[in-house]
Structure 1
């Protein structure tokens, strides 16, 4: 377990609403969801309560579509996940999203993506940044336009959501990444992750700074 994950697991701080306007990645509009302070200051975080409101349709007058991208490994996802979530934990799945991006909606509503992993301390944020980085490259000639301007991170990840809304999860369970029943699975996914993260670092260094 990473240092960040250990800290998150042992110390729970109060969620503090971000003060002032928080704009989308293209700078064109204010984010439609209330955001809170998170570990990574360049990312937009929402609370499990806000995620629950999204699932219950509270923001349907503003949101046209929402995709919940669960960046945990497949054995974690199959052990319990947020309703409607998609299990996306490698770069190829992220790149697929960019092959057929949606154009602007005629109804003026938002298409948003919410990332998370077990604690939302590493895998979820890395996936979010990977998508934004490639989105920036594809739209380099039209900066700051983006195919996916509104990205969020679920603060506390699946662990915190499950702690508050376990009856919504499918199945109603929580399998940790470090589950003793999935040691072989963990080794398998970690070996794949090493090559992916190495490639991500090379991409970042060759393309210059990461715009957010």
Structure 2
């Protein structure tokens, strides 16, 4: 009987009714709860549709960069790494010579060789980035400081450059996972043949005009030190659980 009286009082008092709704969320009118659920479902459905359309566009067109915003600026070839976009040394030389000035070509060349190789001769304007930690710093740049195009290479563009390029793309996808297919760096290339192939025919674009191989006998101690440090860093990351499993990327 007391419970009936309390409910009667609450119905007659708007203030008590509002307090009751705050104290007991399950008393929110059913129709309002239903509206909230429907809105959440609609948002999720829209996200699914957006992602599906982006995936279809990437799958249907080999010419769109990885965020679907526009075609690739530079002509590409079928290189050694089928999942990456490769350009020839001649294309890079043409880029230097203003061949693509009709496009907005704010680019950065990422030299993934070790410091002693880089200091022994590098492509003009290239920056030396050879660790994953440096790639993380690159991803932290503000929007105004991000170049439109990144071109990766190592000595032969066989292992080091492709590895860091894939790492950048995986991290980029993860950081923008809520806004797929948005990316900080949607247009990235690998230089086919690496520094060696470029140097063979374009020494006038190298500074200094020389070439130090990774396995040069004068730098054995430097190579051993770098490999030891890199291996140690990798082991520490695994021990601390920093290695993260990235979701599968449909296309770079």
Stretch deviating more after TM superposition (80-89 or 164-173):
164-173
Distance (whole Å) between structure 2 residues aligned to residue 157 and residue 116 of structure 1: 5
Displacement of 1:166: 1.1
1:168–1:184 CA distance, 2 compared to 1 (3 A): same
1:210–1:194 CA distance, 2 compared to 1 (3 A): farther
Pick 1 or 2: higher relative contact order, CA cutoff 8 A, min separation 6. 1
What is residue 209 of structure 1 aligned with on the other side?
A: 248
Aligned residues of 1:91 and 1:196 also touching (Cα < 8 A): no
| Greater Cα radius of gyration, structure 1 or 2 | 2
Match for 1:175 among 184, 198, 212? 212
- Match status 1:77 vs 2:118: yes
Q: TM-score, normalised by structure 1?
A: 0.81
Count of aligned positions: 188
- Match status 1:50 vs 2:91: yes
Distance (whole Å) between structure 1 residues aligned to residue 189 and residue 224 of structure 2: 29
**Alignment RMSD:** 2.3
Which whole-Å deviations, capped at 9, do the CAs of 1:165-202 have from their partners, x for residues lacking one?
012210010000000000000001112332455659x8
What is residue 133 of structure 1 aligned with on the other side?
A: 170
What is residue 17 of structure 1 aligned with on the other side?
A: none
Structure 2 spans left out of the alignment, 5+ residues: 1-60
- Match status 1:156 vs 2:197: no
- The runs of at least 4 aligned residues of structure 1 exceeding 3 Å deviation read 195-200, 202-205
Structure 1 spans left out of the alignment, 5+ residues: 1-19
Which whole-Å deviations, capped at 9, do the CAs of 1:1-56 have from their partners, x for residues lacking one?
xxxxxxxxxxxxxxxxxxx8422111222111000011111100000000001111
Match for 2:106 among 57, 60, 65? 65
What is residue 165 of structure 1 aligned with on the other side?
A: 202
What is residue 224 of structure 2 aligned with on the other side?
A: 187
Displacement of 1:204: 6.9
Match for 1:41 among 82, 89, 104? 82
Q: TM-score, normalised by structure 2?
A: 0.69
Q: Greater share of helix residues, 1 or 2?
A: 2
Stretch deviating more after TM superposition (57-66 or 130-139):
57-66
Structure 1 residues 73-112: aligned runs within 5 Å: 73-102=114-143, 111-112=148-149
1:132–1:197 CA distance, 2 compared to 1 (3 A): farther
Aligned residues of 2:170 and 2:246 also touching (Cα < 8 A): no
